[in-house]
């Protein structure tokens, strides 16, 4: 938790029991000099109560955005509102101190005090309240997040997931009107992630505040987000419902972030309007794919994206399939990544990455040099502009 939570309570111990439901509106610009020029975070968005996922690659400006909202970093210009109250307005020269913003912030390093117990960490920001009130509030929030049994343990004596819960309880005990989470699940396994998120959802059913959740994990976008904002080089590349933004990306950057392992240059060589498809030739090869129909003329240059998990491999040429793309190729490499096999297949000068299971690899006796057929459905091909 950032300084804001600790200092805020010292200045204003009269913390509301339940914050008023409020939207967050952000319109800011923040510039940073770097060796390649000036990097700028320039965004405008509105976040409602519930999860808004901020998704982007490392260096996209995600943490800078949270720091500006929290008051840790001052934007160069713009406005930040919560429920109509100005936290920052460059024109009015208003910059509410971090400790007065009532913004909860769980940062990547958690910033727990190693010499304090879990209960002391959670209650740290409640100075100015009576001992009885401190005990009541800390006991309630620790029980809600199922860490009351850890009261007397120090951070070094509990697991990573438990430390995450302590940090979250410390941010929420002050009843923030906005919660900022900077990749809080990165070090947790799937069951721990799911459990923590479920508890946070239950908490927010009663509090109804905007929660900005930063991640670069595509799975977390679908699991968490009421809405997703894609940040690319400090700017919003796309915003909307996760399935709209992530499943059919229109920009290559989003496709890469969304897990499209195969992205190719392509040229439209034929239109089939009656059946709703295009034929696209990949790069300078003779390989052609049938893709969904978009507004394009013959000769238009596009990019085609395909997820490795949407492709199939066959060791005999398939017959009688509905899939329109069946390409002959040779396996170049096979790599095992945990329980997933990644196969690189050369199809006439175009290399496809295909993901399959360990059982499929063994059943098909796949190995480098083996001839195979790559199979992909028309609607597994996603077209993007250049």
Question: Tell me: the pLDDT tens digits for 121-174?
Answer: 999 888 777 778 888 889 999 999 999 999 999 999 998 889 989 999 999 998
pTM (whole model) above 0.75: no
Clarify whether residues 30 and 177 are in a common domain: yes
Average pLDDT over residues 201-225: 84
288 close to 269: Cβ distance less than 8 angstroms: yes
The percentage of the chain sitting over the pLDDT mark of 70, rounded to a whole number, equals 90
pLDDT of residue 248: 61
Write out the two tokens for 126.
């409640």
Report how far residue 122's alpha carbon sits from residue 102's, in angstroms, rounded to the nearest whole number.
Answer: 16
Residue 1's Cβ-side half-sphere holds a number of Cα atoms within 13 Å equal to: 31
Span 273-330, pLDDT tens digits: 999 999 999 999 999 999 999 888 999 998 898 989 999 999 999 999 999 999 999 9
Report how far residue 230's alpha carbon sits from residue 361's, in angstroms, rounded to the nearest whole number.
Answer: 35
Please give the distance of CA 35 from its chain centroid, rounded to a whole number.
27
Clarify whether residues 78 and 217 are in a common domain: yes
Q: Which domain-ending residue is among 230, 256, 282? A: 256
| Residue 7 CB burial class (10 angstroms; 0-12, 13-18, ≥19) | middle
Clarify whether residues 200 and 78 are in a common domain: yes
- Using pLDDT thresholds of 50, 70 and 90, give the confidence band for residue 206: confident
Q: Which domain-ending residue is among 256, 279, 312? A: 256
H helix or E strand, kind and range, residue 286: none
* Structural domain for 14, as ranges: 3-256
List the beta bridge partners of residue 353: 344
Give Cβ neighbours of residue 3 (< 8 Å, ≥ 6 apart): 72, 98, 99
Asked if pLDDT for residue 253 goes beyond 80, the answer is no
DSSP annotation of 256 reads H
Torsion angle of C-alpha atoms 126, 130, 132, 136, degrees rounded to 10: -30
Clarify whether residues 275 and 215 are in a common domain: no
Report how far residue 307's alpha carbon sits from residue 260's, in angstroms, rounded to the nearest whole number.
Answer: 4
- The CATH code of the domain that includes 124 is 3.40.50.300
Clarify whether residues 167 and 298 are in a common domain: no
Clarify whether residues 8 and 104 are in a common domain: yes
Q: Quickly list DSSP for 255-284.
A: HHHTT--EEEEEEEEEEETTTTEEEEEETT
Write out the two tokens for 121.
């960490």
Q: Which domain-ending residue is among 226, 256, 286? A: 256
252 close to 52: Cβ distance less than 8 angstroms: no
Q: How many domains does the chain have?
A: 2
């Amino acid at each position: 938790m950032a300084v804001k939570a600790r200092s805020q309570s010292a200045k204003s111990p009269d913390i509301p029991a339940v914050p008023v439901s409020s939207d967050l509106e952000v319109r800011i610009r923040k510039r940073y000099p770097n060796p390649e020029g000036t990097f700028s975070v320039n965004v405008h968005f509105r976040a409602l109560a519930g999860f808004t996922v901020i998704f982007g690659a490392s260096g996209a400006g995600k943490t800078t955005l949270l720091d500006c909202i929290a008051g840790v970093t001052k934007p160069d210009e713009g406005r930040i509102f919560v429920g109509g109250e100005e936290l920052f307005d460059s024109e009015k020269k208003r910059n509410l101190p971090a400790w007065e913003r009532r913004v909860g912030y769980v940062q990547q390093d958690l910033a727990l005090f190693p010499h304090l117990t879990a209960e002391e960490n959670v209650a740290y920001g409640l100075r100015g309240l009576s001992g009885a009130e401190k005990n009541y509030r800390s006991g309630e929030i620790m029980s809600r997040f199922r860490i009351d049994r850890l009261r007397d343990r120090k951070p070094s004596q509990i697991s990573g997931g438990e430390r995450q819960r302590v940090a979250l309880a410390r941010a929420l005990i002050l009843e923030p009107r906005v919660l900022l989470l900077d990749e809080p699940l990165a070090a947790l396994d799937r069951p721990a992630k799911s459990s923590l998120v479920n508890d946070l959802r239950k908490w927010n059913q009663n509090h109804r505040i905007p929660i900005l959740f930063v991640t670069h994990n595509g799975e977390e976008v679908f699991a968490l987000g009421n809405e997703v904002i894609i940040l690319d080089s400090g700017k919003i590349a796309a915003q909307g419902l996760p399935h709209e933004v992530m499943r059919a990306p229109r920009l290559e950057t989003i496709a890469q972030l969304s897990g499209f392992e195969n992205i190719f240059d392509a040229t439209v060589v034929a239109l089939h309007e009656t059946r709703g498809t295009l034929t696209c030739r990949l790069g300078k090869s003779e390989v052609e794919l049938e893709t969904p129909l978009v507004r394009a003329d013959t000769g238009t240059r596009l990019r085609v994206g395909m997820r490795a998990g949407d492709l199939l491999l066959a060791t005999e040429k398939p017959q009688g399939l509905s899939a329109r793309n069946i390409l002959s190729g040779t396996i170049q490499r096979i790599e095992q990544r945990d329980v997933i096999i990644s196969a690189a297949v050369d199809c006439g000068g175009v290399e496809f990455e295909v993901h399959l299971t360990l059982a499929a690899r063994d059943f098909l006796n796949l190995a480098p040099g083996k001839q195979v057929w790559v199979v992909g459905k028309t609607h597994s091909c996603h077209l993007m502009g250049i």
